[in-house]
Each structure stands twice: as structure tokens, then as C-alpha cells.
Amino acid sequence: MPDSQASSNRLVAETSPYLLQHADNPVDWYPWGEAAFAKAKADGKPILLSVGYAACHWCHVMAHESFESGDIAGLMNRLFVNVKVDREERPDVDQIYQQALALMNQQGGWPLTMFLTPEGAPFWGGTYFPPYARWGRPGFSEILERIAAVYEEKPEDIDKNVVALKEALGKLSRPETGGQVLPEAGLQAAQRLARQIDPFHGGLGDAPKFPQPAILKLLWQGWLRSGQAPLRQGVELTLLHMSQGGIYDHLGGGYARYATDEAWLVPHFEKMLYDNAQILDLLTWGAQDASEAWKQDLFAQRARETVGWLLREMLAPTLPDGPAAGAFAATYDADSEGEEGKFYVWDADEIRDALGAEASLFAKWYDITDEGNWEGKTILNRLQRLELGDAATEAKLAEQRATLFERRRHRAWPSWDDKVLADWNGLMIAALARAAPVFGEDNWLTAAERAFAFVVEEMQEDGRLRHSWRHGRLKHPATLDDYAFMTDAALALFEATGKRLYLKQAEAWVAILDNHYWDPETGGYFLTADDTEGLLVRPKHAHDNATPSGNGVILQALARLWHLTGETAYRDRAEATIRAFSGELSRLFSAMASFLLGSELLLDSLQLVVVGDHDDPNMQALLSGRWQVSAPTLVLQTLAPDAELPRHHPAYGKGQIDGRPTAYFCRGTTCSLPIVEPQQLKDAIKAARG
């Protein structure tokens, strides 16, 4: 197999764009798998595990500095068995070793660099290392030699670290159980988190700033429940500065992963499918119920632009003789031509050349100066002018953005990771399904249904989901997140379309989770299935990260299924899931927003039944009353005139009035009188959602 002079390594046979980026390294990389562990055992060498992803800037930096260096690769090949992992393809592997790094009191992130025994047990690690000592950090070459020497000469120290870390990782996979969660717990958490919102720029804490949509959703729901204005204000302030800041792509649409500064000006320029899916939910709610009309208009505009980017640039490629494009790709890189952000930034001369005499108008609104606002260049933003201009000004600015977008199209593009991930697609499908009826965009709903069909038809094998698809090849067993997010997508499509096939698919996926992921001892779902290859531990938690927790999302889905079907097994499973993690709330509430939202949905949901033909224009007119107001805990069920609800449902036996589409709005065991007018329905939801 390869040595430091070889032209390619074992990664050449992989599908991940990230792994393929490293296929020509002089490092003798192995993909994660038994072959690597067998080699380490046979040679008596430790494993060097490197985890990253295709859009990661610092992953590229470390690759260029170290993994493309013949000298450093020679050290790696002589001293270690080297394993490269795409964290997007193997979130289970990444999660375990990120937890191990945290237990070493080190900041997590990517690239993740971990040193393991041949059995996969971690004993030391870090993230990015420069090739040689600088910035007060040891050089990677020095670290390689030091770790190898300790492994060889002080096995007792290695064993001590291994035992301590394995015990700690095992405890993390056994969350503290508790009782049921009171309905007001979510509001109390939201009130505490609202105090952490930056009062000037929005967002939580200082730089770097991440969107943290799960927390923003909890604050929004807290406002709906209580009417406490600061909760809504915290969400609006954050969403407003994000939407007018440099983290937003003002020409092409879509949000970058995070801002490196506190004001949301300087993004880390990579764009992730999962961020934009979750932000689309928030934009939809803001367009429905922001405190001022101009904010509603702005959030609606950003939603439309973001979906425009999605449908223009993020559809996975169609293969010759393969399935039609339908599902969504994963990421866009931060870098192009070896520079972070080069595709997105401008200088004043370029703007003047493109826009001519009217460039001064654009410069005034988008912070264009000769000096620039970042490393001599300009990141387009409207942070100095948060409010929208008058109609004529905004129309002219739209024309100018289109001109600049066309010019930017001819630049060298960032690399694109076109693999399809079931979990991230689930997030986007659900967001599209919830947004489409609000904005009256039938094509968004069509796109959501098409992506859903792709996952069902192309990403299942022997009746089970797989995690990743690229160019016709399926890879890796599904995680809890794959099933949870796709189940949420199925239920969002069921509410938007009334098609029962989506409800049936949701039930089928929950049955698989119950059979293969459920923890029979303390409840809750493991991240990995019982028949997935053995890992050091089976992670189980309810903590949100950049994506919501699988247990939090499946708790929400179980609650909806209970309300929709009346099957007590769903309620029982939801209650057991709450007990499995509720003991963690007192110390980890800020990381458990999705879990709290699921608890509230189970305990205090609103139920709306609309009886009529789903395709009847009068039915759609009545349903418009629901889509004009944000109500995340509302469970919608459309019912054909000759169909029946479950007997437990408070609206059981109720039907149309005078042959007209008729709505019944229920809470607990009590339902409203029949509603036949959209405005009446809208008013009823607004009155009851608090």
C-alpha cells in the first residue's frame, strides 16, 4: 500500500468529497473501518484519527500544511495508522471523539485530531495544529514524535488515560433520568436564555456567534405562550442582524455557518444545508408574526431568497440513467482559489465598474468604501441601515444586486459537497413544507415532496434508511437523527398536503426506531442502531448542537403522532423519553431547547381539525387562516367529509356545516364551535396559542 511517495491512497475508493480531497495525500490514509484497526493491532501502532468535512476552512489549512507535506506524512506513516473521517458521513464517530476531547478540557471543533489505541480508545487529542511550533502552539511534527514516544515508553500513562476517558464516555451515554416535565419549564428556560441575548446585535454571547436556532425557537414559543415581549424581541433582534449582516449572502441568498465577530459582519463563509433549513423556520415565523410590518416584509424576502438559493444551487446532481435530481446537497465551501471568502467579497472599484454612475446608491446601502470592512475588501451588509428603504429604492437595489450576482457567477466558485444526507434533508424538507403554505409557494411544497420521495426511494435498503448517498452509492447505517428528522419531515408534509401516505411513513420509521434504537433500560433512543458496527460507546443524549437533538425531534414527532392517531403507545413512548433525560435539565437546559419544545407539544398542544376536500378552493381558503399566524405547537389534521377521527379526539364525530369546509379548534378535551371563515380561524388560533 502507499508510502509517502505514492500518488493516491485508500481514500480514492470513497464517495465523500472530503475524503476524496485527501486521496492524493502522501499520507497512507485508511477510511474508518475494521481494516484500519486490524492493521494497528498487527503493527502495534496507535491510530491517528483526523475528522473534518469538505467545507471546513481550517481542515484545508491543516491539509495543505501537514497532510500534503512529504516530511510530515512520512512521520505519520512510520509512527501511526492514519484514519480519515468525514464528520458529515459519520456523525456517530465524530460525536464520540468530540466528547472525548471535551473531557480532556479542550475546545472541540474541526479538524479534530485524536490519538487512539488499536481498539479505538482515545488517549489524547486536539483540533488544528500548525506544522511547526508557532502562536504558542506545538508543531504537529513535534506532537507526532512525542505521542509515539509516550505510547511506546509509558504504556501505563496511556492505560490510565484510556480507562478514565472510557469511564467518562460511558457516563455521558447514561443521562440522568427524572420525572415528567411541567408545561412551564420551557417558558422558564426561555426567560433565562433571553437574558443572554446581546442587546445591541442579537445572538447569544460574544464572538464567534452562531445562529443557535433551537434556542431562538424556544424563545419564540415562550413569547407565544406568555406574551412576554422581550422573548420575541430577542428573536427578532437576532434574526434582523443576521439577515442584514455579512453572514447573509445578499446576492445569492442563504446564511453562512457563523460570524467571527459579535456584530454578524464577518462570516465563516461556508454554507450548510442544516443551518439554512432551521433559519427558514424562524424566517417563516417572523414573516407571520414579527412586531412590525417592515420586519415581516424583510423576513419574508430573506425566506424567498434563501429558498431561491436552495432550489438553484443545492439540488443534488442528476446521474445519467439515474434518479432525477430532487434531494438537497450538503454544503458549500468557505474557500475558493485557496482563499477564505474570495468568492463573496468585493472592492469599491469592482462595484463602480459593474454599476457605473449609480454605484453610489449601492455603496450607501451596502457599506462599500475604498478601505473596505474586512482585510481591505468589502463584505456586503446592511447593518448600518437595518430598515428597508422605500419601494423605489428597494427596486433599484434589487436590480443592482442582480447585476453583481451575474458578475459574481463568472468567478471561481467554492467547492460543493454534493452528497445527500438523510438527516439534513429531513430538516430542509420539513422547513419547506411548513413555509410553502405560509408564502403561497406551491413549488416549494413540490420540491419538498420530491426530496422526500428521493430519500424514500433511493436511500432505503432492505426496509432501512441509510445515512448518505452520493452518485448512486449508499453509505453508512442511519442514525437516530436520520429517522427523527425524516419523521418530522413526513409529519410536516402530512399537515401541509393531507396525504395519509406521509403519516404512514412516519409511523413506519418510528417502528424501526423502537425496534433498533430504543434503550429498554432507561428509555430514550441511542444515536446508533443495535446492529450497527460496534463503537466505543453507543451515544445517547438530548443535547442540541448545530442541529437539534435526535431525541428532542423524535419527542416532538411522537407527540404529534399521539395527537393525530390516538395510539397510546406514542404517548407512552414520549413520556418515557421525557423521563429518560429530564434529570439533565437543571444543569443543561440551555442545550435542551428541542427537548423542551417536544415536552410542551406533548403536554399542551393545540389541535385543529378541518373537515372538507383538501383540494377544494374553499377548503384552501379556510386553511389560509391557519397559515397566517405562527403556532408551532398546533397539530393540524385535514379530514375528508366521510372520514372519522380517532375516538379519543375531542372533535370525534364532528363534521361539516351546511356542506362547507369546517374547522374545529381544540385544546385538551374542549373544542370550539364550528368555524367556517378564515379570519375567524386566524383569530381563534391567536387567542388560544398563549
Question: Are the C-beta atoms of 578 and 599 separated by less than 8 Å?
Answer: yes
How many other CB atoms sit within 10 Å of the CB of residue 70? 10
Asked if omega into 230 is within 30° of 0 (cis), the reply is no
How far apart (Å, rounded) are the C-alpha atoms in residues 530 and 479? 11
How far apart (Å, rounded) are the C-alpha atoms in residues 476 and 371? 49
Q: How confident is the model at residue 8 (pLDDT cuts 50, 70, 90)?
A: confident
Q: What are 58-62's contacts with CB under 8 Å, separation 24+?
A: 58/109, 58/110, 58/111, 58/127, 58/128, 59/18, 59/110, 59/111, 60/333, 60/335, 61/128, 62/111, 62/128, 62/129, 62/140
Of 303, 296, 311, 301, nearest in space to 397 by CA: 301
Domains of the chain (ranges, CATH numbers):
10-172 (3.40.30.10), 196-333+416-603 (1.50.10.10), 344-408 (no CATH), 606-688 (3.40.30)
- Burial class from Cβ neighbours inside 10 Å (0-12, 13-18, 19+) for residue 354 reads middle
The partner residues of 667 in beta bridges, in order of sequence, read 606, 670
Mean pLDDT of the chain: 95
For range 91-95, the mean pLDDT: 96
Give me the pLDDT at residue 134, please: 80
DSSP conformation class of 518: B
pLDDT in tens, 202-241: 999 999 999 999 999 999 999 999 999 999 999 999 999 9
For range 587-600, the mean pLDDT: 96
Q: Up-side HSE of residue 552: CA atoms within 13 Å toward CB? A: 23
**Number of residues written out for the chain:** 690
**Which residues touch 567 (CB under 8 Å, ≥6 apart)?**
561, 646
Strands 81-86 and 29-31, how do they pair? parallel
Question: Are the C-beta atoms of 207 and 215 separated by less than 8 Å?
Answer: no
Among 72-76, 132-136, 341-345, which is the least confidently predicted range? 132-136
Written as nine digits, the cell of 425 is 434533508
How far apart (Å, rounded) are the C-alpha atoms in residues 162 and 177? 27
Reading across the β-sheet that carries 81-86, which strands appear in turn?
A: 29-31, 81-86, 47-52, 112-116, 122-126
**b or e along 437-470 (b: 16 or more beta carbons within 10 Å of the residue's beta carbon)?**
bbbebeebbebbbebbebbeebbeeeebbbbbbb
How far apart (Å, rounded) are the C-alpha atoms in residues 604 and 181? 11
How far apart (Å, rounded) are the C-alpha atoms in residues 459 and 478? 10
Question: Are the C-beta atoms of 302 and 236 separated by less than 8 Å?
Answer: no
DSSP conformation class of 89: T
User: Does an H or E element contain 416, and which?
Assistant: strand 416-417
**Residue 243 pLDDT > 50:** yes
Q: How confident is the model at residue 2 (pLDDT cuts 50, 70, 90)?
A: very low
**Residue 5 pLDDT > 70:** no
Give me the pLDDT at residue 649, please: 87
DSSP string, 380-391: ---TT--S---H
How far apart (Å, rounded) are the C-alpha atoms in residues 559 and 594? 13
Written as nine digits, the cell of 605 is 398542544
pLDDT in tens, 644-663: 888 888 899 999 999 999 99
Question: Looking at 1-78, which runs of residues are DSSP E strands?
Answer: 29-31, 47-52
pLDDT in tens, 94-133: 999 999 999 998 889 999 999 999 999 999 999 999 999 8
**Residue 4 pLDDT > 60:** no
For range 405-421, the mean pLDDT: 97
For range 584-600, the mean pLDDT: 96
Would you tell me the crossing angle of helices 422-439 and 617-627 to the nearest 10 degrees?
Answer: 110
Distances (CA, A) of 601 to 242, 483, 578, 597, 662: 28, 19, 12, 6, 24
pLDDT in tens, 530-549: 999 889 999 999 999 999 99
**Residue 320 pLDDT > 80:** no
For range 337-355, the mean pLDDT: 96
Give me the pLDDT at residue 340, please: 94
Task: List % helix, strand, coil for the chain (3-state, nearest 5).
Answer: 50, 15, 35
**Residue 135 pLDDT > 80:** no
pLDDT in tens, 621-636: 999 999 999 999 999 9
Written as nine digits, the cell of 42 is 498487527
How far apart (Å, rounded) are the C-alpha atoms in residues 366 and 202? 20
Question: Looking at 142-202, which runs of residues are DSSP E strands?
Answer: none
Stated pTM of the model: 0.96
Give me the pLDDT at residue 324, please: 66
Written as nine digits, the cell of 126 is 486536539
Question: Are the C-beta atoms of 523 and 558 separated by less than 8 Å?
Answer: no
Give me the pLDDT at residue 323, please: 63
**Residue 6 pLDDT > 70:** no
Give me the pLDDT at residue 534, please: 81
Helix and strand element counts for the chain (H, E): 25, 19
pLDDT in tens, 477-504: 999 999 999 999 999 999 999 999 999 9
